[in-house]
Amino acid sequence: MSETPATTRLPDESCTRLSVAPMMERTDRYYRYFARLLAPDMLLYTEMVNANAIVRGDPNRWLEYHDSEHPVALQLGGNEPAKLAAAAKVAEQFGYDEINLNVGCPSDRVRSGAFGACLMGDAPLVADCVAAMSDAVSLPITVKNRIGIDDGEVCNDSYEFLAQFVETVSQGGCEMFIVHARKAVLGGLSPKQNRSIPPIRYEVVAQLAREFPHLRIVVNGAVRDSECVAERLEEVAGVMIGRQAYKEPYWLAELNRQFLNPDYELPERPDVVAAMADYAAEVVQGRVRLHHVTRHMAGLYAGVAGARAWRRKLAALGSVDELAALAATPIERLNG
């Protein structure tokens, strides 16, 4: 780690109050455009992108996005400070608003690459990674981690372990930590099981926020209703919404008005669909299939009568024109 690491610039507090989590095979550019139509004031995150894919591959493939997605953060995966710094430089050129380092993914594939949640076992290396990126770019560098790790042999899930991790990494220049309030079980549990089996421990993240008041602590994990959001915001600086934002995307609009902008006028769902049809007309060409765009829209009518018919019609679409026509069809007529 450099002897005098640069101090990371914090993201704007107003947008980190509520954010949508990075989710593999979920939060691609098409979903983010959709989410932005619903929640104009939330911070959006990309899927995790391996730093090697940017440095050695085609950065356009991984980093292109629509201008309307701002504020948008790139989540990077990796464990080599120099490569992460190089990837961060490219991301800065693309105009991202924040770089986030993944120190929370428990998948075997990520673990085999010696990054993700297993990095919590090497806090000095994480600090080096943060310092290298912070020295390389002017963007805020943040970290997303778990409250602890358990590899079956050694269980590091005490508050003291988490606090020491945060203390060490903050010395590398990180001032914002997004903490999934579950430990990661490395080996033995799938990523899906790691999102449900280890118990949720919001009290640990709340304690972290109290004892590190100079840092911005954001909580993630099992946030499924507005009451939970309100409770968590009493304890920490921000809340990150995960799978529920994908299952019930219209909830994002309601959260945006309730917690970020009380003057925000909730959009009509058919208007959102029409806007997505216009967007699809721009991007559906070459290797981009319509399904890449519409698959993210399946939950738009969750909880509304006719939602099943909506999903069926959406899945059967064959053209952008059909999507536009669907937008103009009242949902109560979809069963016809």
Task: Show the tokens assigned to 188.
Answer: 């033995």
**CB distance 192 to 200 below 8 Å:** no
Radius of gyration of the chain (CA): 20
| Burial 227-254, CB ≥16 within 10 A → b, else e | ebbeebeebbbbbbbbbbbbebbbbbbe
Phi and psi torsions of 118, nearest 5°: -60, -20
User: Could you tell me which residues come within 8 angstroms of residue 55 by beta carbon, excluding any fewer than 6 positions away?
Assistant: 83, 86, 87, 90
- pLDDT reading at 4 higher than 60: no
Reported as a single tens digit per residue, the pLDDT across 165-201 is 999 999 999 999 999 999 999 877 888 888 888 999 9
Q: Phi and psi at residue 158, in whole multiples of 5°?
A: -80, 160
How many whole angstroms separate alpha carbon 118 and alpha carbon 160?
17
Q: 51: which 2 tokens? A: 């730093």
Which stretches does DSSP call E strand in the chain? 18-20, 43-50, 72-77, 98-103, 141-150, 155-156, 176-185, 216-220, 238-241
Rounded to whole angstroms, how far apart are CA atoms 305 and 278? 26
* Rama region for 254: left / alpha / beta (φ>0; ψ in -120 to 50; rest): alpha
Fold of 269-333: Four Helix Bundle (Hemerythrin (Met), subunit A) (1.20.120)
**CATH topology assigned to domain 13-260:** TIM Barrel (3.20.20)
pTM of this structure: 0.94
Catalytic residue at 105? yes
Catalytic residue among 105, 118, 129, 174: 105
Residue boundaries of the structural domains of the chain: 13-260, 269-333
List of residues 6+ apart from 298 with CB closer than 8 A? 310, 311, 314, 315
Between the CA of residue 73 and those of 36, 108, 123, what are the distances in Å?
13, 25, 23
Q: What are the tens digits of pLDDT across the range 312-336?
A: 999 999 999 999 999 999 998 887 5
Give tens-digit pLDDT for 223-274: 999 999 999 999 999 999 999 999 999 999 999 999 999 999 999 999 999 9
Name the DSSP class of 76. E
